[in-house]
Amino acid sequence: MENTIAAISTNNIGVGAINIIRISGSEAINIVSKIFSNKKFIDAPSHTIHYGFIKEKENIIDEVLVMLMRAPKTYTKEDVVEINCHGGYATTNKILELLLTNGATLAEPGEFTKKAFLNGRINLLEAESISDMLNAKTNLQSEMALSGLTGKTTKKIENLREKMVSLLANIEVNIDYPEYIDELQITKENISPILMEIKRELEKIVEESKNGQIIKNGIKVAIIGSPNVGKSSLLNTLLEEEKAIVTNIKGTTRDTVEGSINYKGILLHFIDTAGIRETNDVVEKIGVEKSRKAIDMADVIILVLNNNESLEKEEQMLLKQIEEKKGIIFINKIDLEEKIESFTTTCKIIKGSTLKNIGIDTLKETILNNCEIKDLSNKDLTYLSSTRQISLAKEALQNIEYVIEQNKKDIPVDMLAIDIKIAWENLGKIIGKFYEEELVDNIFSKFCLGK
């Protein structure tokens, strides 16, 4: 029997007015009816909404609307039930727990989409795009996911594959019909510009995919510095201003505070590590270790210094450390007397005050600049975003770079075809299309040969 899976489908549980729990599988309707007060529900027609209460024995847990969608016209092609319950972490979790105790299994991340894929509802690229969209937190993100769905990415890659297959077909024709000298003969010289063009386009795809990853995952910004420099107030200023959500994430480090804002369509994810304490050597080591970790994890580091104090030993050390990464130095409290010594750094320095809200916008802009993100909102969003897709595109690029290298070494063109074909296959894997016959079909549609 197939698993019946359940999970909370809405993001940021506890924030919105309602939350949705989704259940999929052959037992979905049975399981829900066990905890749902509305008795008509179990035999109701597909694609209908039902009002009632979720109950644990006789206790009412929540007042809900339940959507019933019978197979096969559902996202997973299985029976799907969605429970619209009221916001609130505890209530939502309680309902999920009830479903699990009544026979559902907790869905793994992406399992609904996996089912949709395995059940033939969607193809691989769509699966990836949907999972991106489900995870989307900003408009740019969902736009990017959508463009995957509507086939923009597919189109771009297909065009490039078309170019490659034409080249391959031409090489094959030269091999299989060596005496047909009227056909264009691919040589060391004339293949070179074609390869360069393919390379450029692949580079573009790979380069843009970096933006894709940033749009998808946001930018991780670590705020480090000593405790008394105004680090926390910087975080609060950054978050408050955007009316963002602050979450206390349990279980990581007790002192770590995180929060995200949507700035110009990009998710900026701030992590405020607990400061470095100077009491004794052991703790100091732990502290340095901790900020070292934050530096490793983050895309961008903000080192906060106090204008009103002279530099401590640890701060001088941190100044060096952040030079390796994309560091930004924020000198806080410029409204107070300047006691900080001058220092040399390759990092960008911003002077400001969290109290007076000076320099905050410059700081945000600098974060984007550091990640080489210009204005993304006007761009044609045709990025690859999943790691699988990006690594395939990178592989294809490497294949072509290798071909260019080998061509310089006088390797025969028919051997070069081996790696061009591998690159072509790699691109085919991105869009879930890999069909040998394509090449042969192409040969006969483009060239005119034979007895």
Partner 1 sequence: MIYDCIVVGGGHAGIEASHIAAFKNHKTLLVTSNKKNIGDMACNPSIGGTAKGIIVREIDALGGLMGKIADISHFQIKMLNNSKGPAVRSLRAQVDKVTYPKNMINTLENTKNLDIIESMVEDLIIEEQKVKGIILEDGTKILGKTIILTTGTYLKANILIGSENKEGGPHGERRSNLLSDNLKKYGLKIQRLKTGTPQRIKADSIDFTKMQEEKGDDTLWTFSCDNAPSYNPNEQQKCYLIYTNENTHKIILDNLEKSAMYGGYVTGIGPRYCPSIEDKLVRFKDKERHQLFLEPESLYYDEYYLQGFSTSMPRDIQEKMVKTLPGLENALITKYAYAIEYDAIDPLQIKASLESKIIENLFTAGQINGTSGYEEAAGQGLIAGINACLKLEQKEPLILKRNEAYIGVLIDDLVTKGTSEPYRMLTSRAEFRLILRHDNADLRLREYAHNIGSIREEEYLNTKKKKENLKQCEEFLKQQKLKITPDIKKKMSEKNITIPIKTESLYDLLKRPEITMSLLNEFIELPFESVILEEIEIHIKYEGYIKKTYKEVEKMIKLEEKKIPENIDYNEVKNLASEARQKLEKVRPLSIGQASRISGVNPSDIAILCVYLKKEYNKNE
Nearer to partner 1, 148 or 359 (CB): 148
Helix-then-strand count for the chain, H and E: 14, 13
Rule CB under 8 A: is residue 434 a binding residue for partner 1? yes
- With CB under 8 A as the contact rule, the residue among 56, 63, 108, 176 that binds partner 1 is 176
- With CB under 8 A as the contact rule, the residue among 118, 184, 297, 317 that binds partner 1 is 118
CB of 126 to partner 1, least distance (A): 10
- H or E stretch at 359: none
In sequence order, which residues have a C-beta less than 8 Å from that of residue 178 and are 6 or more positions away? none
Rule CB under 8 A: is residue 444 a binding residue for partner 1? yes
**Distance between CA atoms of residues 129 and 213, nearest Å:** 13
CB of 31 to partner 1, least distance (A): 21
Q: How far is CA 311 from the centre of its chain?
A: 38
Query: What is the total residue count of the chain?
Result: 451
Region near partner 1 per CB under 8 A, out of 61-69, 113-121, 298-306, 356-364: 113-121
SS3 category, 127:
helix
CB of 105 to partner 1, least distance (A): 16
Rule CB under 8 A: is residue 86 a binding residue for partner 1? no
Nearer to partner 1, 187 or 248 (CB): 187
Nearer to partner 1, 74 or 260 (CB): 74
Count the neighbouring beta carbons within 10 Å of the beta carbon of residue 45. 7
**Distance between CA atoms of residues 46 and 105, nearest Å:** 23
Contact 76, 121 (CB under 8 A): yes
- With CB under 8 A as the contact rule, the residue among 1, 17, 181, 282 that binds partner 1 is 181
Nearest residue to 351 via CA among 318, 328, 320, 326:
328
Q: Which two tokens stand for residue 330?
A: 């924020």
- H or E stretch at 434: none
Region near partner 1 per CB under 8 A, out of 142-150, 265-273, 336-344, 429-437: 429-437
Rule CB under 8 A: is residue 341 a binding residue for partner 1? no
Nearer to partner 1, 15 or 184 (CB): 184
Mark residues 361-400: x for contact with partner 1 by CB under 8 A, - for none: ----------------------------------------
Residue 150: exposure state from Cβ atoms within 10 A (0-12, 13-18, ≥19):
exposed
Measured at the alpha carbon of residue 73, what is the angle toward residues 68 and 74, in degrees to the nearest 5?
60
Nearer to partner 1, 165 or 304 (CB): 165
Nearer to partner 1, 367 or 417 (CB): 417
Rule CB under 8 A: is residue 432 a binding residue for partner 1? yes
- The residue with tokens 């470095």 is 276
- H or E stretch at 78: none
- With CB under 8 A as the contact rule, the residue among 120, 279, 313, 341 that binds partner 1 is 120
User: Binding to partner 1 (CB under 8 A): which residues in 403-422?
Assistant: 409-415, 418
Nearest residue to 350 via CA among 330, 334, 323, 371:
330
**Distance between CA atoms of residues 389 and 190, nearest Å:** 30
Rule CB under 8 A: is residue 119 a binding residue for partner 1? yes
SS3 category, 350:
strand
CB of 70 to partner 1, least distance (A): 16
Rule CB under 8 A: is residue 358 a binding residue for partner 1? no
In sequence order, which residues have a C-beta less than 8 Å from that of residue 184 and are 6 or more positions away? 170, 190
Region near partner 1 per CB under 8 A, out of 33-41, 215-223, 375-383, 437-445: 437-445
Rule CB under 8 A: is residue 435 a binding residue for partner 1? yes
CB of 409 to partner 1, least distance (A): 5
Q: Which two tokens stand for residue 11?
A: 């993001």
User: Binding to partner 1 (CB under 8 A): which residues in 49-78?
Assistant: 77
Measured at the alpha carbon of residue 273, what is the angle toward residues 270 and 275, in degrees to the nearest 5?
140
Rule CB under 8 A: is residue 182 a binding residue for partner 1? yes
Applying CB under 8 A, the residues found at the interface with partner 1 are 77, 117-120, 123-124, 172, 174-182, 409-415, 418, 432-437, 439-440, 443-444, 448-451
